[in-house]
Amino acid sequence: MEQISKASLSAPGMQGVSQPVHAVLSPADLPKYIDHTLLKADAKSADIEKLCNEAKQYHFFSVCVNGANVAQCAKLLEGSGVKVCSVVGFPLGAMAAKAKAFETSTAIEDGAREIDMVMNIGAMKSGNLKLVEEDMAAIRKACGSTALLKVIIETCLLTTEEIIKACEIAKNTGLDFVKTSTGFSTAGATPEHVALMRKTVGPVMGVKAAGGVRAFADAINMINSGATRLGTSGGISIIKGQTIKGY
């Protein structure tokens, strides 16, 4: 089974392909890089409870859910060390910035400690970089020092130049992570896009690969390309070295 250096994960800017091997990374080492994800519209309360129980059992870094499920997750995960991540402006990113900011504040009040916001993709495609920046800044302000902030730029809808610009704006606006995908658009993460994002933001930000990360090999490819977090509903299969279909 494919393995990589643990040294490649010691800082966001390091890539396993260029690092010396000190120890190998096995599927069982991956849980702390996984945001255990359930964002389906028809997710039931019992499904959310199952997600949280799995996150505690396998020691995933966080659960990633829609805002309406944050309070339930926070209660179920209290004292476990597993964080609650809420998506904001999901999945289109086309909401007004003040609406996203309110959604963010509500999620934090309910117990979220990480926010995955969707960028205003239409503004980026229109070249309205001022609006893109203002949108990110509004959510950054709403997070304050309470919640870590990731921005989903939806790489499958962007040109190379737009990916670079989105990452530059996120970095200059003080965000903590850039994230590839919602998993609800035309495609998910690719190693090439992850590598481009890592090159653009350097070692000071996290890079989250999401959408299509379904197997251990997928996870390793993303990490080797510069990812420091993985968003997937298939975390259990990944750490068991299996392959699944889905987000």
pLDDT digits over 168-187, tens only? 999 999 999 999 999 999 99
Place of tokens 């309110």: 102
If DSSP codes are grouped into helix, strand and coil, which group holds residue 116? strand
Whether residue 121 is contained in a domain is answered as yes
- Tell me if 235 is assigned to some domain: yes
Q: How many domains does the chain have?
A: 1
Residue type present at position 6: K
Q: What is the CATH number of the domain that holds 166?
A: 3.20.20.70
Read off the pTM. Answer: 0.89
User: Does 140 reside within a domain?
Assistant: yes
C-alpha separations of 52 from 87, 89, 162, 234 in Å: 16, 23, 36, 14
Question: Which residue, 177, 108, 101, 114, is CA-closest to 142?
Answer: 101
- Catalytic amino acids? 116, 179, 208
Query: What are the two backbone dihedrals, phi and then psi, of residue 149, each rounded to the nearest 5 degrees?
Result: -120, 125
- Which band of pLDDT confidence, cut at 50, 70 and 90, is reported for residue 27? confident
As a whole number, the mean pLDDT across the chain is 90
How far apart are alpha carbons 19 and 6 in whole angstroms? 9
Peptide bond into 31 cis (omega under 30): no
Distance, in Å, from the CA atom of 127 to the CA atom of 146, rounded to the nearest integer, reads 31
